[in-house]
């Protein structure tokens, strides 16, 4: 795909930090600038909000993050038995054993992947306690068999609120793509769909 884009004159350059997008001019941190008829903001909500500020001081103010705690752990035991996993919609949590889902990995023990989504007005400390109870209830004794674990205590997994349409700032030469943009889909599917709409509507 990169080669095809290069053939038609689309410049692809990694690790460019965009400082500003104003009046069709993109300013990079290294001092370079580019002019463009249309700029697609295909980035996270926080960066998009910063870049939209010159156009709309209140841009994306109606969107708030949904945070979660996550755990990935390799174990010497199989606390879920032969189950692939468990989803608890009421708690906003799941735990999967990827070793059971994909036996070709050839793991002796479990490879747990778990998420606990925040509840309304819940602190990360309260969520951490709830997460530990959830794991102990459904994967009893897992913490005594850990080979390696990785945790994220407070990551943004999704957004909610008044999401703008992908073309909300088209009059300013800006299109929007991401999970934080209005879509019939969610998460990665929303990002892909809004990105596709941007691509189809660049004039």
| pTM (two decimals) | 0.78
What is residue 203's predicted lDDT score, i.e. its pLDDT? 67
CATH number given to 66-158: 3.30.70
What is residue 182's predicted lDDT score, i.e. its pLDDT? 96
CA distance 159 to 202: 26
2-6, 107-111, 139-143: the lowest-pLDDT one:
2-6
CATH number given to 2-62+162-200: 3.50.50.60
Question: What token pair was written down for 160?
Answer: 């909610």
Residues 24-59: tens digit of each pLDDT = 899 999 999 989 899 999 999 999 999 999 999 999
Going from N- to C-terminal start, the domains of the chain cover 2-62+162-200, 66-158
CA distance 153 to 128: 7
Residues 82-132: tens digit of each pLDDT = 999 999 999 999 999 999 999 888 889 999 999 999 999 999 999 999 999
Q: Which of 74, 92, 81 is nearest to 130 (CA)?
A: 92
CA distance 101 to 98: 5
Cβ-based neighbours of 5, under 8 Å, separated by 6 or more:
12
Compute the 3-state secondary structure of the chain and give helix, strand, coil in percent, each to the nearest 5: 30, 30, 40
Tell me which residue has tokens 């350059």.
13
């Amino acid at each position: 795909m990169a080669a095809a884009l290069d053939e038609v004159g689309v410049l692809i350059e990694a690790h460019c930090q965009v400082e500003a997008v104003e009046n069709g001019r993109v300013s990079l941190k290294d001092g370079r600038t580019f002019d463009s008829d249309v700029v697609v903001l295909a980035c996270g909500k926080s960066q998009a909000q910063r870049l939209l500020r010159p156009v709309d001081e209140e841009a994306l103010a109606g969107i708030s993050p949904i945070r979660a705690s996550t755990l990935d752990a390799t174990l010497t035991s199989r606390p879920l038995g032969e189950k692939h996993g468990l989803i608890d919609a009421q708690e906003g949590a799941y735990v999967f054993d990827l070793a059971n889902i994909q036996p070709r990995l050839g793991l002796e023990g479990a490879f747990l992947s778990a998420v606990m989504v925040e509840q309304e007005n819940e602190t990360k400390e309260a969520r951490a306690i709830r997460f530990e109870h959830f794991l102990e209830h459904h994967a009893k004794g897992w913490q005594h068999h850990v080979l390696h674990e990785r945790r994220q205590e407070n990551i943004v997994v999704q957004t909610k609120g008044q999401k703008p349409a992908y073309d909300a700032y088209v009059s300013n030469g800006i299109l929007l793509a991401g999970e934080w943009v209005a879509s019939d889909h969610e998460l990665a599917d929303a990002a892909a769909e809004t990105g596709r709409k941007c691509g189809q509507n660049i004039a």
